[in-house]
Amino acid sequence: MKYSNSTMRACNISYDQGVPLVTVYSLVLAVGAPANVVTLFLSLIKICRKNVLSVYLFTLSLSDLLYMGTIPQWIIYVKNQNKWTQSVTACQMTGFIFFNNLYISILLLCCISTDRCLVVLYPIESKWRRRRRTAVAVCFVVWLLVMVVHLPVFFLSNVKSDEYKNDSCFETIPMPSLVAKFNYARFCVGFCIPLFILALTNLLIFQRIQASPCLSVREKSKVKYLAIAIIMIFLGCFAPYHIILLSRAVVFSLYTDSCWFEEKIYSVSTLFLCLCTINSAINPILYMFSCESVRQELYREVQSIRNCSSHRSNRSESYILRNGQLSGTSTYRIEHVTTEN
């Protein structure tokens, strides 16, 4: 039972999403963990070759992998019908990592789109002004800012009095005033502003590419569909959860007893929370494996490892496999628009 903060009556919260959510979490872990490990490896190689954008991709994959290390705990939690059976510290750490990853991912996606936009709009200037150390500093600030803002996560499990505590983890029903204010901020700063940045930067990229006489129709279509995919995936993964956050905060502010609303949207809110995790598995596919030169890079590295282990290649052949040229100028051009720079 969860309790109303004002009337102290029990909210009749029912939970019936166990099997679907366990399936989704398991798929995200099965797909996302290896995909992010490969992305981490490839982006590290590109960082060593002075690629700026790969700094953001490396940081994004690192954050996603840290979160995926906690997915087994979420699976256990869901299978136990949202009853936390581990220690309070484990709950705090798991929640802290989840919320950090959620907003680190959102902010880094904005950094990636902004960086791509600068390359497209100012190709000459950005070539000289963009630096790896600047990207590293930006990533550090993003991590630090998000972690500091979410430090209250360590205390959210203690916002209710002992008399009305339950065995859930970070499900603050009834919603305390502090959480309601925090939800307003998360919706505005953590969702609306990043959505505006993503939409604006991808629109500018699309407009510039469409006006370029150097790219083929196929290349322009690729950029168009990539921009659409970025926006749609962002909305699909993050919009439902943040709309629920906002609606809960609004109802809490307008009504003295919000149990009727919490009872209606509880199962839906757990589903929308799960949707946020899908982004961690999609990011590598969207930003790395959809790129032709990255696939070629991965193929060359695998072939190089194979040849090295079997001792079938001489030194010059291994060098070519590790440092082969990109296929054609069109690939080079499209890489400036998608993931390279």
| Fold classified for 16-337 | Rhopdopsin 7-helix transmembrane proteins (1.20.1070)
Task: Look at residue 219 and tell me whether its pLDDT is greater than 70.
Answer: yes
What is the per-residue pLDDT for 124? 78
CA distances in angstroms from 19 to 16, 44, 78, 79, 272, listed in the order given: 8, 37, 8, 8, 15
Bigger pLDDT: 150 or 58?
58
Average pLDDT in the chain: 77
Q: What's the one-letter identity of residue 202?
A: N
Q: What is this structure's pTM?
A: 0.80
pLDDT reading at 272 higher than 50: yes
What are the residues whose beta carbons fall under 8 Å from the beta carbon of 266, sequence distance 6 or more? Answer: 13, 14, 15, 173
pLDDT at 275 over 70: yes
Please give the torsion angle defined by the CA atoms of residues 302, 303, 304 and 306, in that order, rounded to the nearest 10 degrees.
Answer: 90
Dump pLDDT digits (tens) for 1-56: 444 444 444 566 666 665 688 899 999 999 999 999 988 988 888 888 888 888 99
Backbone angles phi, psi at 15, to 5 degrees: -125, 120
Peptide bond into 123 cis (omega under 30): no
User: Which range is most confident: 172-181, 262-271, 275-284?
Assistant: 275-284
- pLDDT per residue as tens digits for the range 288-324: 655 554 555 555 555 555 555 554 444 444 443 444 4
**Element spanning 222, H or E:** helix 217-254
pLDDT at 297: 53
Mean local confidence (pLDDT), 62-86: 88
* Nearest Cα to Cα of residue 238 among 271, 276, 283, 194: 276
Give the pair of three-digit tokens for residue 136: 């590293």
pLDDT tens-digit map of 141-188: 999 999 998 887 666 555 444 444 456 776 667 677 777 888 898 999
First-residue to last-residue Cα distance in the chain: 54
Task: Return the higher-pLDDT residue of 271 and 263.
Answer: 271
- The pLDDT of residue 213: 77
Q: What is the distance of C-alpha 20 from the center of its chain?
A: 21
Across the chain, the runs of DSSP E, i.e. the strands, are 2-3, 10-11
Question: Out of 81-85, 88-92, 211-215, 236-240, which region has the weakest mean confidence (pLDDT)?
Answer: 211-215
Q: Quick one: tokens of 250?
A: 């609004």
| Residue ranges per structural domain of the chain | 16-337
